[in-house]
Amino acid sequence: MDIQFAGEHLLPGKLGQFFIILTFGSALISAISYYFATVKDTNDDSWKRIARLSAWVNTFAVVGIGASLFYIIYSHYFEYNYAWAHSSRSLPVYYIISSFWEGQEGSFWLWMFWQAVLTNVLIQRARTWETPVLTIIMLSQVFISSMLLGVEVLGLRIGSSPFILLRDAVEGPIFSRADYLNLIPDGNGLNPLLQNYWMVIHPPTLFLGFASMVVPFAYAVAGLWQKRYKEWVTAALPWALFAVMVLGTGIIMGSFWAYEALNFGGFWAWDPVENASIIPWLTLIAAVHVMIAYKNSGHSYFTATFLVLISFVLVLYASFLTRSGILGETSVHSFTDLGMFGHLLTYLLVFFVIAIGFLIARWKDLPITKKDEETYSREFWLFIGALVLTVSCIQVIATTSIPVFNAIFGTKIAPPANVFQHYHQWQVPFAIVISLVSGFSQYLKYKNTDPRKLYVKLVMIIIMAAMITSAFAYVADVYHNVMYVILTFAAVFSLCCNVPFLIDALKGKWKLAGASIAHIGFAFLLLGALVAAATSKVVSINTSGVGFGEEFDKSNNAKENIILYENEPVRMDQYTVTYKGDSTVGVNTYYKINYKTINQTTRKVIEEFDLYPNAQQNAKMQTIVASPDTRHYLLHDIYTHVSSVPLKTETAEHDDHTGHSADEGYDQPATYEVALGDTIRYREGIIVVKGINRNATVEKIPLGKNDVAIALTLQVIAKNKTYEVDPIFLLKAGNKFDFGKAVADAGLKFRFTNVLPDKNKLEVMVYQKPLAEKKWVVLKAIKFPFINFFWAGNILMMVGFLLSIFRRNKEIRVKPEEIKEIKLQSK
């Protein structure tokens, strides 16, 4: 029985699904045609024409998928699972973009899109490399597009389509109703943590990085396949640099997002998902160095080829880790499993086999030198540097892969209890070696160098570096730990070695400055990361609360959160911190935290600023999602986030109830006997008995002859406001009545209950509202010294890569003799 569902928009989904099939099909045709264009030695280029045409159709179809999906999310068609699961009506347009890639399908699309863009660039520019290189890239496109297919073949579901309907994706009784859409007024919305502008640009950058890693891989395979063993290195080098630069930028954006928007309390947490992105980056950085070594000396051919090949395999391994659900309980933020375990594994294995297969098949032909490198040669140390980077990468892989190890061998090993200590015990020594090598190898020439001249130069630099190190270690307070001092020295040494080259560059040799700028950036990055991570200090130490007094165990018992009551200043480090209230904008509640530095002797305020850490309150779930706010200085940051706040819903309900009954919501009244001119003290001020009005009237109650209505005029002097109020006492037909009056603003209510002529006193009852729950926040504040070195170092590194890309790209414009060589080979 088919139900005719009302209000569904099926066209965009059908169109989208058609584009998915078209993407898959055109990628397949293109890959096959490029393959035949490569292997068939024919004069007409018909295969190539078909391949190009299908590649263009592929690009068009990929854009079509994106447009259909965007249209669905943008129009709030919640009949589609993807729109329902990842967006909501209240989402602003720029976050619709980030909801686009919150799910796995969207991020696969992104990858596919970039691969299509790169394909078009390569069609224009790759010339003789086009057919073999694009055979590989199109094969990769076939695999990624198959992840979106969502079709069943022989009972096996292949891929997961973003165009699946909600009623097909989710089981539920409402889907038996034809008008079920009326019951789904809104989508689930975007994870609040992703509602950050960094999440709009971080994923596209990261995926451009991942996608562009396939290009050097494809060149390496093409080189082996076509037996153009030497040429591919030159052609692939700018692409490798491009991939390293873009992926590096993407990783740093993620790190900055974590720092700015998540309350992880840092910029790098060694989380498996973060590690997965850095693993291929490390190997490709290593690859770039040995590629340069090979180009200039003929050494390290195998290392260069192997590293380029393995880098892309590791990209696939990283996707497998984050997308297959295997990380399970070791990571906070991997994707949920979509049942693509085997599919992802196949993709990984196919490319692994291609890489290893070509290496083995061509092993005997590889131009591996039999000569030994000189110790005082640049190529030798480039090789050493690359190997150390590789080992550093192996260390990260080994620990990150613990869940994989468990899955293969059925063991139950848990990750190290102290993650930071575990990684740092290895990564700090590696960083020291790498940064020392990146320094002195600048003074080495290819082939050989005169050791005497080298040592003369280095001695000067070492003395200078030692001086700067001692000063810096003292200022930055890292001299307590020997490893930190050595790392600081290594980074400063690298700086001192590279800066002279930068100065040369500024004199006009811009072209050659890429490497030294990148190395300077790396040195700054290390310094910043070292100091910020090693000396970051929680400034919100709770000194007033109930403590255990066990200060020795820092990791466990440091009282790192502090409670602040509204308008009650608390001292924290050098700051006097006050919680000044909150305001709600949309879903976010911003807590205004005022920081003041006060000179202890003159009591003058030296500096004052406000921070607005925010929390999204979810009334239904009774939870908050907190985001920090940070005050940036040149040399340090003050980072603040709320750890706990009173939940809004509770207080709101409270207020509702108080309005119902007259005396409800007030404390037990106090009864006073007063005379004119008396004052009554209450919790927040005084009440003055001003006078009485014997001719008061009460609305709607006519007064008889013997009836008396007396109003008592009371003046309430609260903290900074005065109010007048006149409760009435009524004597009607011998019966006593009274009409109380309230001062809502002051939380008071008065009843004039009796007149006591014999005492010459008046009886007043004072009702007071209970002390309002004082507003409070629990917050954590961390000082990160020298963190700007980290960010600035990263930016410098990327600039260095960019300059190197320009330089290496020029080297592709082949010299005449090489063109001859190519012609000879092709004959």
Partner 1 sequence: MKKSSIVGIIIIAIAIGVIISTYADSSTYGSFTDAKESQTELHVVGTLNKSKELIYNPKVDANYFAFYLVDKQGKECKVVFSGAKPQDFERSEEVVLTGKMIGNEFSASKILMKCPSKYNKDKMEVQEVEHTAALNR
Contact positions vs partner 1 (CB under 8 A): 85, 170-174, 177, 183, 188, 191, 299-300, 329, 332, 336, 372-373, 375, 380, 383-384, 387-388, 390-391, 394-395, 398-399, 402, 412-418, 422, 425-426, 542, 545-547, 555-563, 621-626, 643-644, 776, 778, 780
Task: State in angstroms the smallest separation of the CB of 422 from partner 1.
Answer: 5
Residue 675 has phi, psi (to 5 degrees) of -120, 170
Closer of 574 and 644 to partner 1 (Cβ): 644
Task: State in angstroms the smallest separation of the CB of 540 from partner 1.
Answer: 9
Task: State in angstroms the smallest separation of the CB of 157 from partner 1.
Answer: 16
Task: State in angstroms the smallest separation of the CB of 638 from partner 1.
Answer: 19
Q: Which residue has the tokens 């305020």?
A: 605
Task: State in angstroms the smallest separation of the CB of 191 from partner 1.
Answer: 8
Closer of 64 and 416 to partner 1 (Cβ): 416
Task: State in angstroms the smallest separation of the CB of 379 from partner 1.
Answer: 10
Closer of 234 and 406 to partner 1 (Cβ): 406
Sequence-distant (6+) residues with CB within 8 A of 481 are 534
Between CA 131 and CA 52 the distance in angstroms is 9
Closer of 54 and 107 to partner 1 (Cβ): 107
Task: State in angstroms the smallest separation of the CB of 759 from partner 1.
Answer: 45
Closer of 392 and 435 to partner 1 (Cβ): 392
Sequence-distant (6+) residues with CB within 8 A of 594 are 577, 578, 579, 580, 608, 609, 610
The sign of the dihedral angle between the CA atoms of 487, 493, 496, 499 is negative
CB 734 within 8 A of CB 719: no
* Helix axis angle, 301-323 to 231-261, nearest 10°: 40
Tell me whether residue 552 is exposed, middle or buried, using C-beta atoms within 10 angstroms of its C-beta: 0 to 12, 13 to 18, 19 or more. exposed
Between CA 345 and CA 336 the distance in angstroms is 16
Q: What is the DSSP letter of 365?
A: G
Closer of 556 and 601 to partner 1 (Cβ): 556
Task: State in angstroms the smallest separation of the CB of 442 from partner 1.
Answer: 20
Closer of 416 and 569 to partner 1 (Cβ): 416
Structure tokens at 627: 């985001």
Task: State in angstroms the smallest separation of the CB of 185 from partner 1.
Answer: 10
Between CA 635 and CA 528 the distance in angstroms is 10
Between CA 646 and CA 517 the distance in angstroms is 49
Please state the separation of Cα 52 from the chain's center in Å: 38
Closer of 556 and 600 to partner 1 (Cβ): 556
Between CA 762 and CA 713 the distance in angstroms is 12
Structure tokens at 184: 């789904």
Structure tokens at 709: 């209505």
Task: State in angstroms the smallest separation of the CB of 546 from partner 1.
Answer: 5
Between CA 223 and CA 292 the distance in angstroms is 16
Structure tokens at 10: 């099926």
Distances from the Cα of 704 to the Cα of 582, 709, 731, 736, 753, angstroms: 54, 10, 10, 14, 20
Distances from the Cα of 277 to the Cα of 249, 252, 401, 578, angstroms: 11, 10, 13, 40
Structure tokens at 723: 């109010």
Tell me whether residue 53 is exposed, middle or buried, using C-beta atoms within 10 angstroms of its C-beta: 0 to 12, 13 to 18, 19 or more. middle
Q: Which residue has the tokens 């689930």?
A: 188
Task: State in angstroms the smallest separation of the CB of 59 from partner 1.
Answer: 31
Task: State in angstroms the smallest separation of the CB of 10 from partner 1.
Answer: 21
Closer of 145 and 643 to partner 1 (Cβ): 643
Closer of 342 and 545 to partner 1 (Cβ): 545
CB 579 within 8 A of CB 596: no
Distances from the Cα of 343 to the Cα of 102, 146, 169, 291, angstroms: 20, 9, 20, 32
